[in-house]
Amino acid sequence: MNFTFTSLRAAEKALTSLRNRVWNWQNAPMDSSSRLEDRSVVEDWRNRFWDAVHNDLDLPRGLAITWDMASSHLPPADKLELILDFDRVFGLDLDDVPAEYDISPDASELIARRMALRRQAAFADADALRSDVLSEGLVVEDVGETSRVRPQTPLEQQESRWASVSASREIPSLLDQPDLYDFTFLINAYDYVDDVRRCVESILANTSGASVEVVVVDNGSTDGTADYLEEAQRQHSNVKVIHCDHVVGDAAGKNIGLKQARGRYILLMDASVEVVGDMLQPVAEQLADRSVGVFGPYGLTTDDMQHFHEEVDRGDADAMQAYCMSFRRDDLAAVGLMHESFRFYRNLDIDYCFQFKNAGFRIVCDSSLPLVRHEHRQWEELDNNQRDELSRKNFGRFLRRWGNRPDLLINPSARGFETGFRH
């Protein structure tokens, strides 16, 4: 079975909600007066659930009955009794949910101050303390004059810091909207915070006064990259950060950025690259030629579709390496987005260039662009077997799409690679 991260996140939220209800029910009165006198109503819920379970283990129906029961007008004590009975099937360990959670002395003091303010009807001041409670990693719920607290789940901790997405389809496309900038620099960031910082700050330093935005996709980083990017976004109005709650893959991450870009020209940058001068003018000059689809400094050629090895210093090429590749935003309507089967970055750039070539555009390079390529740590930190396997799979994807299209190459006598697939 294949579960998307979007569905898994929804399931986590549902489980958190169910545990939260159990927590609330445990804190409700539990004496006999808090239960229904007519026990047949409770037993009807129980029988409906177990009938579903005994009917070929119909767990979806059993789960629906569980949620209906949880939202019903049954007293909390009866709901708690039933949910713990049902959990003998689900195995969610709901009986492990404590009635009270241990919290730090500082957090206890905050809660006490907040409850005192609520008793004094100083609700605005009490609400102002809520953010302090959240910063302690806690969730607070008010019941009358009292307040209950519990620790945030990992998902709640992440969401309290910043919004995140699980897939490119969750991001609306702005490609049909007017340009707001002349240039969009797009970076797909996977960890390596020092590299990301160097790249972002080199862009900002060399584009001062220009109409530029920097869009950075935090592709599931776990090393402090996300925190740095949030700070950069606060300090620079033209920096936009989009967080992913896990590594969504290279093509999907870049598609997220492409869909949000608002610059006339898009410059796709690798975080290992540093800008050391004015590259905006040559990019604009080259892309003013509507026959040019992709422009950058690191071009490649091939004569047989199997070996892309010769870097081109200047002029037409068969593909451009994604250390830096630029193109017009309005051409994406004809070219399309990247194929998200490319989770690893290698050879995705070649595949995307062939989408441009297939749409009738040229690939042009100029190695004199003011850029410095530093160590590509995502590549260097893989062992040889991982590199070979991931690269081979991606190149196979490329060949299946384009191997029999030597007509797209700049060498008229170039040979294709017969795959049996017809484009």
Mean pLDDT of 387-399: 84
pLDDT digits (tens, 9 = 90+) for 300-325: 999 888 888 777 889 999 999 999 99
Q: What percentage of the chain exceeds 90 in pLDDT?
A: 55
Mean pLDDT of 370-396: 84
Residue 83 CA neighbour count, 13 Å, CB half: 31
Count the helix, strand and coil residues of the chain and give each as a percent rounded to the nearest 5.
Answer: 45, 20, 35
pLDDT at 422 over 50: no
pLDDT digits (tens, 9 = 90+) for 22-56: 988 988 777 666 788 889 999 999 999 999 999 99
Looking at the DSSP assignment, which residues form a beta bridge with residue 239?
Answer: 214
Direct distance between the N- and C-terminal alpha carbons of the chain, in angstroms, rounded to an integer = 30
pLDDT at 360 over 80: yes
- Of residues 19 and 8, which shows the higher confidence score? 19
Confidence of residue 20 (pLDDT cuts 50, 70, 90): confident
Note the pLDDT of residue 121.
81
pTM (global) more than 0.75: no
Coil/strand/helix, residue 373: strand
pLDDT at 423 over 70: no
pLDDT digits (tens, 9 = 90+) for 254-298: 999 999 999 999 999 999 999 999 999 999 999 999 999 999 999
Assigned token pair, 41: 């109503």
pLDDT digits (tens, 9 = 90+) for 200-257: 999 999 999 999 999 999 998 888 899 999 999 999 999 999 999 888 899 999 999 9
**Cβ burial, residue 266 (10 Å; 0-12/13-18/19+):** buried
pLDDT digits (tens, 9 = 90+) for 99-131: 877 878 887 888 788 888 888 888 888 788 777
Assigned token pair, 318: 């068969």
In contact, 258 and 213? CB cutoff 8 Å: no
Note the pLDDT of residue 260.
97
223 closest CA partner among 252, 255, 196: 196
Domains of the chain listed by start with CATH number:
5-96 (1.20.120.1910), 105-161 (no CATH), 168-408 (3.90.550.10)
